[in-house]
Structure 1
Amino acid sequence: MTTPDPRRWLILPVILSATFMASFDFNVVNVAAPSLQEDLHAGQAALELVIGGYAFAYAAGLVTGGRLGDIFGYRNMFLIGMGTFTLASLLCGIAQTPGQLVVARLLQGITAAAMAPQGISLIQAVFDQSERPKALSWLGVMYGLGGVAGQVLGGLLIAGDLFGWAWRPIFLVNVPVGVIALVFAARLLPRGRAEKRPKLDPVGVVGISLALGLALAPLIIGRTEGWPLWAWISLVASVPVMALTLVYEGGLSRKGGQPLLDLSLFRSRTFSVGLVINVAFMATFSSFMFSTTLLLQSGLGLSAREAGLAFGPFAVLSMLSSIYGRPFIAKYKNKALAFGSGVVGLGMLALALETQSLGADLSIGYVMGPLCLVGLGFGFVLPSLIGTVLAGVRPHQMGIASGVLTTTQQFSGATGIAALGAVYFTTLGSGHGLTDYAHASRSVLWITFGLCAVLVALFALLPRLTADRTAPQGAGAADRPAAKSAA
């Protein structure tokens, strides 16, 4: 076990800045959607690509980004990723057409995938085993806070119309933040890389990225294009492409090679069940935020600033429950996480019932109560998801595991928006009144409420966690984390 870096608590905010920025830019375009439509004349397909394209590129590149960190060093990849992400944000901010913005958003997602996976590996390097759960929980806090800030701060920036730039400041704000983060990262982040320098596995990179792309592209734009033949072919083709890639990865591992995706990770029940929990949770979170934003702005007629401020109590409660819920989770473990998921579900159920009973009489006052309840539950659960999944991972697998985890989170978030967004817009049809938007929101809320019920059941399947760390009690050596020896 190595001695913890004495600057580790100064390093942590630098790491968290990447997590916050990646999450912020995933969510901020939700509240900017009406402004984008008006200023750039973006159609529904382009709008969904601006929103979902970032998530697709981010999800498709995360596993590769994690492996590149193992090869070239986590510090180097963090600096490269942060620098190129800042540049991509500038390109988003100066885009003049929907096509330019879509391309810039794809680049933004790819560069975010280069910087974000390094965070978990850097935490493993600079913190000792007793401190890692706390540091990892802050990653979860920043992920959730970045998502909520995308709604709140994004709304304020758009409403402020700084310099007459309309929606552009939501991307341009990343430029000074990114420059500052680069300066501190260059000064503070430790040098080094994994003890055993792995190979890249280009077949795995192409196969996994292609399978994800084939699955997500039709989900994003298939409905707006009327579900043409190519969309169905793409969706179906993603299954054999992924299956063949996994067969290749398994064969490469048996031959003593270094596959991009280490299938032995899934032998841990903690890791496998934890990934399923993340799929359900992130799909719920992303689709709820997307549909609720549309309800507030298009249904209730709130401005971007008013909609952003409406998420203010959500943000505060989410932050407070993220910070002060740790002792409760440490004491009651999986039961506490199941309880938090139940609180989220109750908030969604309450809002679904309100949209059904009130219809055209729905007002912001009625929405705020359920929204606060959802924020309280989300903040309670989200910070613990990372540590829960990684509890069963060996140290030498941490880079790949973090890439798989973050890929799963982002892809499920994008899929949630695409799939439940299709449900939303299909239910909405040609309607434009509050009753129509309430009905469309209700269709999504019932589905997300069902996902919350699944979450409560899934937490019961996880091995029982110890009170002082995220490793499962009674796990074998393969399921216990240990200190990582190099950055």
Structure 2
Amino acid sequence: MSTLETNPAPPLLAADDPGKSGGTERRATPIPPEPEPAAPFAARWRVLPVVLSAMFMAMFDWFVVNVAASSLQHDLHTGQSALELIVGGYGFAFASALITGGRLGDLHGHRRMFVLGMLAFGAASLLCGLAPNSWTLVAFRILQGGTAALMVPQLLALINTLFPIAERPRAMAAYGATIGLGAVAGQVLGGLLLEANLFGWGWRTVFYINVPIGLAAAALAARWLPRAETRHRTTLDPLGALGISGALALLLVPVTVGRPEGWPLWTWISMAASVPVALLTVGYESRLARRGGAPVLDVGMVRRRVFSAGMLIGGGYLTFFAGFMLCLTLLLQDGLGLSPLRAGLAFAPLGLCFAGSSFFLARRVADRIGNRVMVAGVGAGLLGALIVLAVLTWSGREVSVWALIPGMMIVGVGNGLTLPSVIGAVLSSGIPPQQAGMAAGALTTSQQFGNAIGATILGTTFFAVLGSATGTGDYVNAMRAAALVGLAVLAIALAAAFVLPRHTQH
């Protein structure tokens, strides 16, 4: 018997809402049960760091460009619009292609897509490092985001497939810690690489470093991941993939470039058009599923309470976190005059709290209070943001980095409690193995969409309040305004966390 052959578990009805009682229940076709491995894959813990390297690299390359921004402006004479696209183009391509990337793994094997995605990401990173001008770099960053979307959904699907249910919380904790380490490493390691200026490469080093890591991870994954993997011989649903990517593009592209371009008319038309395109795509996907086809996104899965609330919580928290990190970076570097390295090191305690609470605390808290761990996590994020806001209000232009760090650390704890718990709850709620990649892609899409939209919403607020001013007090006022917007986003995520049932039914 293959190591991936499984035994049946209790079925869950697609239209039934776990944890919901009362009212008239709509009966639907039972979802195929999630099997439990008869003989768990022996090398699963050895291969886990290899597959987690995909998430580390994806998050590292999201945040490292913040640190390299001034170098790009100096070396490539990058204007504000191009700089926004160098940052946001990666996020747009990443978010818009994730569901398709996850579905490709379901159809052609998660091992194969992970290895191909890792190799493609390394190649795209090399092209970014070789870019001769800013607009070429924009194009290669969009390509890099698309290749990240090919490898990242596979790691969550592999965790869901290779690890028994009892071991998944620990694996998800490691996943959550990796998000934190990757995000903060983008700030800290990015600053170190820029300051070291290896071989005179400057900013190009932050992209070249992905090449040897990607080659090593692809080689180890090809050697260690099991070849015996169930594949589902259906078509990709190109119309659904194009519709989802198109709807996200119509929203994310104008959001990314709107502020530096002064919000021209086309940006508003594009954002308005994203709504009917999304609705038409959802309708098409629903009809395709009813006809027995294989949609790129199972709308019935998204309608389930655990799944939809999990997308809102994860996406909402990262909307706050991405904007919070960007605005704090601007405050520390431009407002308080810290170097990129010193500003990056100021985020190190946040990253350690993120990683530590993910790996050591989230699972223990979840064992005691179930899905209420997400209430605790989002609540911790709220508390941390409130502390930062209070410090900024109390200290004004005399604010110090040391006074901000306690609030930043509590935000990190909130991240560590929230993100792995969201993913663990959703993927353990009866998602069948043949939809693991799709589910992982949809979850990660909501999170990366939060990253992209958060940096824009909080960043736009920050710059609108800052205006043309350059004093420390002006940067403090801008950060306070951005923090207030972040608090409003966290309040929505907290409300979604209360909607979840206390315990997820497997």
Bucket of the pairwise TM-score, normalised by the shorter protein: over 0.9
Alignment of 1:457-472 (within 5 A): 457-465=495-503, 472=504
Distance in 1 (alpha carbons) for counterparts of 2:74 and 2:422: 38
Partner of 1:378: 415
Once the two structures are overlaid, the 10-residue window that deviates more, 312-321 or 276-285, is 312-321
Match of 2:247 among 204, 211, 215: 211
Aligned partner letter, 2:201 = W
| Per-residue deviation, 1:38 | 2.0
Q: Calculate the TM-score normalised by the size of structure 2.
A: 0.89
Unpaired segments of 5 or more residues in structure 1?
466-471, 481-487
Asked whether the 8 Å contact 2:117–2:147 carries over to 1, the reply is yes
| Per-residue deviation, 1:241 | 0.7
The share of aligned pairs that are identical, in percent, is 49
Match of 2:447 among 398, 405, 409: 409
Match of 1:307 among 323, 343, 348: 343
1:167-223 deviation digits (Å, cap 9, x = unpaired): 221111111111111121111111244343221001001111111000011101112
What is the alpha-carbon root mean square deviation over aligned residues?
A: 1.5
Match of 2:368 among 331, 335, 338: 331
Once the two structures are overlaid, the 10-residue window that deviates more, 31-40 or 83-92, is 31-40
Match of 1:239 among 252, 267, 275: 275
Unpaired segments of 5 or more residues in structure 2?
1-5, 7-36
Aligned partner letter, 1:383 = P
| Per-residue deviation, 1:25 | 0.9
Distance in 1 (alpha carbons) for counterparts of 2:429 and 2:372: 19
Alignment of 1:49-448 (within 5 A): 49-325=85-361, 326-395=363-432, 396-448=434-486
Aligned partner letter, 1:339 = A
Alignment of 1:41-56 (within 5 A): 41-56=77-92
Aligned length: 468
Aligned partner letter, 1:256 = G
Aligned partner letter, 2:283 = V
| Per-residue deviation, 1:335 | 3.0
1:11 and 2:37 equivalent?
A: no
Counterpart of 2:183 in 1: which secondary structure? helix
Distance in 2 (alpha carbons) for counterparts of 1:164 and 1:455: 45
Counterpart of 2:202 in 1: which secondary structure? coil
Once the two structures are overlaid, the 10-residue window that deviates more, 322-331 or 7-16, is 322-331
1:32-64 deviation digits (Å, cap 9, x = unpaired): 222222222211111111111111101111111
Aligned partner letter, 1:357 = W
Aligned partner letter, 1:425 = F
Asked whether the 8 Å contact 1:60–1:208 carries over to 2, the reply is yes
Provide runs of 4+ in structure 1 moved above 6 Å: none
Counterpart of 1:168 in 2: which secondary structure? helix
Counterpart of 1:245 in 2: which secondary structure? helix
Asked whether the 8 Å contact 1:50–1:101 carries over to 2, the reply is yes
Asked whether the 8 Å contact 1:265–1:393 carries over to 2, the reply is no
Once the two structures are overlaid, the 10-residue window that deviates more, 254-263 or 374-383, is 374-383
Once the two structures are overlaid, the 10-residue window that deviates more, 189-198 or 304-313, is 189-198
Aligned partner letter, 2:480 = R
Asked whether the 8 Å contact 2:188–2:345 carries over to 1, the reply is yes
Q: Calculate the TM-score normalised by the size of structure 1.
A: 0.93
Aligned partner letter, 1:450 = A
| Per-residue deviation, 1:337 | 2.6
Asked whether the 8 Å contact 1:36–1:167 carries over to 2, the reply is yes
Distance in 2 (alpha carbons) for counterparts of 1:431 and 1:39: 25
| Per-residue deviation, 1:377 | 2.3
Q: 1:411 to 1:316 in 2, by over 3 A?
A: same
Q: 1:94 to 1:313 in 2, by over 3 A?
A: same
Once the two structures are overlaid, the 10-residue window that deviates more, 130-139 or 82-91, is 130-139
Asked whether the 8 Å contact 1:18–1:82 carries over to 2, the reply is yes
1:312-336 deviation digits (Å, cap 9, x = unpaired): 2112222222222121222122333
Distance in 1 (alpha carbons) for counterparts of 2:156 and 2:437: 8
Asked whether the 8 Å contact 2:240–2:295 carries over to 1, the reply is yes
